[in-house]
């Protein structure tokens, strides 16, 4: 693995480039960009899938989103969908500068919100030749529904406006946790599993600070990862979801994505797996990683 950086409009993004065994810098490899979930960093599930792809012969890049992790950008902890999508385009730019990457064989693999961003990027970035997603979430849909109805959604947007005014006047930021610190009083299965992954030694990482800049939620609310999907997604698509349905909606979003896509597509439903099981549980990641590797091997080929 090599630590690398690449630019996005004046920001420096930090990434890990995972290389296959027996790597030969004079060779020509297919490459896969691995896109992390919201609140995550490259060393967590995106890095795990990047390592799995490298084991199957691909060059794989996991990177931290702009304003997050080891990547640059101020103010910190923004979750800006347009920037997240541009990050992916810039990752493609970077891969095309590597002599050992075949620019005609670049794919993208996104997990959770990263899956929605991966799909959205591929719609307008046709240097991406194939798209794989794991537990995909349309983060805009999730935020809109999570507000609890239209009236509460409007109230939330008004609260964000007041916070922007406060920040303009005082510079005081409102940083909110993506995931609660502990499970006390929580009964929602997906949220409990998020706590178990992100807030315990199972998956936590010191670079994942669990901070979300509240004002960026407005941009998330207005975002639809699947807008124009039927018209613009022409690349082969492989969707991986678990059959243990949770409130975050990856089962539903995965089926919606599969149903609406008009390109060559496949759907894998992993028996017994929930949303977060597909992040790191070996028995489920082995299944997802195996089919994703075969999918990319089939679709990242020279024309």
Residue 137 to residues 42, 115, 117, 274, Cα–Cα distance (Å): 18, 6, 9, 13
Phi, psi values for residue 158, rounded to 5°:
-65, -40
Domain boundaries, the chain: 2-146+216-299
pLDDT in tens, 31-76: 999 999 999 999 999 999 999 999 999 999 999 999 999 999 999 9
Continuous segment of H or E residues that includes residue 105: strand 101-111
With a cut of 50, list the residues of the chain below it in pLDDT: none
What is the per-residue pLDDT for 183? 86
Given a contact cutoff of 8 angstroms between Cβ atoms, the answer to whether 31 and 76 are in contact is no
Task: Determine the Cα–Cα distance for residues 63 and 42; give it in Å rounded to an integer.
Answer: 5
Given a contact cutoff of 8 angstroms between Cβ atoms, the answer to whether 233 and 263 are in contact is yes
- Between CA 185 and CA 194, with CA 190 as vertex, the angle to 5 degrees is 85
Query: What length is written for the chain?
Result: 303
Secondary structure (3-state) at 266: strand
Q: Tokens 């983060």 label which residue? A: 139
* Tokens, residue 47: 């890095």
Secondary structure (3-state) at 273: coil
Check residue 225 and report its DSSP letter.
T
What is the per-residue pLDDT for 303? 66
Secondary structure (3-state) at 15: strand
Continuous segment of H or E residues that includes residue 106: strand 101-111
Nearest to 98 by CA among 15, 42, 36: 15
Given a contact cutoff of 8 angstroms between Cβ atoms, the answer to whether 226 and 252 are in contact is no
Nearest to 132 by CA among 235, 11, 26, 12: 235
Task: Determine the Cα–Cα distance for residues 174 and 62; give it in Å rounded to an integer.
Answer: 28
Given a contact cutoff of 8 angstroms between Cβ atoms, the answer to whether 84 and 220 are in contact is no
Within 13 Å of residue 266, how many CA atoms lie on the same side as its CB?
14
The per-residue b/e assignment along 227-244, b for 16 or more CB within 10 angstroms, e otherwise, is eebeebbebbbbbbbbeb
Secondary structure (3-state) at 184: coil
Q: Tokens 């024309």 label which residue? A: 303
Nearest to 66 by CA among 227, 203, 219, 169: 219
Task: Determine the Cα–Cα distance for residues 137 and 249; give it in Å rounded to an integer.
Answer: 7
Q: Tokens 């994505």 label which residue? A: 257
* Tokens, residue 264: 């060559």
CATH code linked to domain 2-146+216-299: 3.40.50.1820
DSSP string, 98-141: -TTEEEEEEEEEEETHHHHHHHHHHHH-TTEEEEEEES---HHH
């Amino acid at each position: 693995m090599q630590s690398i950086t690449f630019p996005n409009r004046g920001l420096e993004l930090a990434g890990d480039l995972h290389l296959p065994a027996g790597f030969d810098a004079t060779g020509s490899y297919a490459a896969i960009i691995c896109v992390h979930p919201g609140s995550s960093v490259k060393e967590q599930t995106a890095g795990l899938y990047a390592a799995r792809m490298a084991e199957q012969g691909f060059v794989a890049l996991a990177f931290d989103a702009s304003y997050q992790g080891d990547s640059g950008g101020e103010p910190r902890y923004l979750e800006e969908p347009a920037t997240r999508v541009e990050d992916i385009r810039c990752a493609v730019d970077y891969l095309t500068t590597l002599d050992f990457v075949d620019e005609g064989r670049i794919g993208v693999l996104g997990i959770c919100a990263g899956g929605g961003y991966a799909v959205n990027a591929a719609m307008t970035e046709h240097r991406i030749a194939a798209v794989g997603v794991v537990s995909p979430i349309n983060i805009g849909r999730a935020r809109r529904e999570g507000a609890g109805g239209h009236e509460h959604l409007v109230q939330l947007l008004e609260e964000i406006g007041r916070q922007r005014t406060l920040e303009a006047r005082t510079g005081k930021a409102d940083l909110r946790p993506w995931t609660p610190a502990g499970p006390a009083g929580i009964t929602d299965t997906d949220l409990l599993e998020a706590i178990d992954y992100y807030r315990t030694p199972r998956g936590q990482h010191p670079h994942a600070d669990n901070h979300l800049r509240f004002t960026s939620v407005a941009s998330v609310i207005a975002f639809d990862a699947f807008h124009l999907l039927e018209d613009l997604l022409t690349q082969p698509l492989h969707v991986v979801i678990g059959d243990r349905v949770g409130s975050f909606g990856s089962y539903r979003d995965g089926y919606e994505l599969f149903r609406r896509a008009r390109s060559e597509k496949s759907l894998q439903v992993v028996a017994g797996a929930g949303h977060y099981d597909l992040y790191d549980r070996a028995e489920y990641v082995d299944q997802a990683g195996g089919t994703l590797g075969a999918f990319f091997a089939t679709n990242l080929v020279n024309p």
